[in-house]
Structure 1
Amino acid sequence: MKAASSKPSPWWTPGVHADRRPFLLGRNAIQAALRGFFARRDFIEVDTSTLQISPGNEAHLHAFHTEAVTTDGQLHPFFLHTSPEFACKKLLAAGERRIACFAHVYRNRERGPLHHPEFTMLEWYRAGEGYESLMVDCAHILALAAETMGAKALTYRGRDVDPSAVSERLSVAEAFDRYAGIDLLASVFADGATDRDHLASELKHAGIRVANDDGWADLFSRVLVEKIEPHLGFGRPTILDEYPVCEAALARPSARDPRVAERFELYACGVELANAFGELTNAKEQRRRFQVEMAEKARIYGETYPLDEDFLDALSLMPEASGIALGFDRLVMLATGAARIDQVLWAPVAEFGS
């Protein structure tokens, strides 16, 4: 007699689909509500291409690689984009002022309850407006998602957040002090340089493990993941603001303190939902940051991604702006009460690997 398989039924079997369908219909309703939200605020919805010369230049961001073949058989490398960010900023350079984009994006080495190889990123940009305007947007969007589902709270793993509550705004330095007893900015200099040994000493004093080959960024990430993120976004949303300038990515330095950047992340129910920048428009500095990130990627993973020279050229024409990327599927999860990201995807990517 053939043994029964312990493998779960595929998403397309009628019983599984019936269980998932309420979440999927909720997804559609939330997306429609958000499209209305942006239309009422004079945003133009844009649709960017998936194939890009560069998928992004962050050390720990992993892309899917492919090739274009010309009619005479020549091969040209391309990547599936990890974000529509570069394309959206080129549109700002072209003259658009308010744009929003629901983009399917692709990230390798990511799969789990909150991660999927292909997912939907909602990005929006405001030319000529500060990044605090994005904080206001986030408050409206959380409330709208819950309202659309008739939910009084956003929920994940038995923990709730009141979407109508005023968000806690907490700087990264304040979070390090509150949850780990670490003076983070004592290891960051005004020019963006960092003191690895000073931060390592702070971690050891706080009882947090330190490896000999840990760099400053490794130590920063360990504290953030282990000591800070588990406390964020419970009861009310949390805006984790003012990342050290060495962790600025594509954000500009703060006019208030050159050691930090105009970057915030939004958390609800302990889940990171969004990453926002007051956008950097200095091409020389952006190139330098990309090169630093690719050197780190080469050190850790033995590979690098090309720079998008068109994007760097476009920065000279790009106006002052603020922009944000929100994990749309995660928002749907919290608003519908789904436990896993694959429950809110109409057709999840097939399982692969062991």
Structure 2
Amino acid sequence: MESVTHSILLSPPDVGPDEAAAVARALESGWVAPAGPDLTAFEREAAARVGSPHAVAVSSGTAALHLSLLAAGVGPGDVVPTSTMTFAATANAIRYTGARPVFVDSTDIDGNIDVVLLRSVLRRLRDGGQRIGAVVPVDLLGHVVDYTAISALCDEFEAPFIADAAESFGSLHRGRPVGSFGFSSCVSFNGNKIMTTSGGGMVFTDSPDVAERLRYLATQARQPVAHYEHTEVGYNYRLSNVLAALGRAQLRRLDSMIERRRAVRTAYRDVLDRIPGVRVLGRVSQDQHENCWLTAVVVDPDRAGWAASDLARALAAADVESRPLWKPMHLQPAHAGADAAVTGVAESLFLRGLALPSGSSLCDDDLDRVLSVIRSVAG
């Protein structure tokens, strides 16, 4: 193998001169605060992108989830069913409110929440007299959950549907943009996401009252009077105007960045689908038009003759970053003893799955380097 000259990262920020110019203009405007014209415009433009009447830009995807749960009235004593295969932020935000997460296992095809299992969990909780504060499914690695089925379940069980779409901004479900579903939808603009504001997130909602409540809580719950008056506890969760300027520039490039990630996934599929015991995580469906945020391989070691961990070691030796899939929340020490409906699928995907470099800035030469390592391991 030719000498390695640089690291290949999993999903680095894809920023350039457009973003630099936008940030410079924001700085020159003097609006270097969590308020300003770029922040207002970013919310308006992002809302238009997803077809949602209201958007509230905040400091992180975690903040978006926390605020949404509070706005839905979730609090101590409530239970909140959610995906067990997710980043810690989902479960942490539920815990912030004093509610208890109930972890629901995954489907093997894409790692998303098992809707049939979710129904049984909701029935058990209701029949047990527990208050279901909300339901929070997660779009794993940009794979979109069955929003249609989950919306129907939430209506049936009279529970607010809060979509953790942190990883799926730009995706569609049955032709409808992610961000336009549920009581609210929460996205992340962290540095490794499909588009970035460095750190940041956003909540989309159809309700003007919910949007007003979110903004109020995100600005320290300050009352609209001349002095500083607070009748309840709020949070310092608003996004900076400077970072919103970065987000506006990224939003204009979103379609091209998604197109590149799809091309990367196609290249992986062309190689991986030929290897016995190996598959790309996720389904190929016109109903689920995904942003391809991260492409992950799932390896059956008995059939392939090698494991995902073997590939991870070979990639690391070539200075290529990879990452196991999320360790399920029901296996995390921080949530030991939590209620969970488990089938073993999420744990199996954690042990057999590996996320591969998927960034929109991944050039063809670097992609070839990754594919060469995969071929060498596969023999």
**Same-fold call, TM cutoff 0.5:** no
Bigger share in strand: 1
Normalising by structure 1, report the TM-score.
0.29
Normalising by structure 2, report the TM-score.
0.28
Bigger share in helix: 2
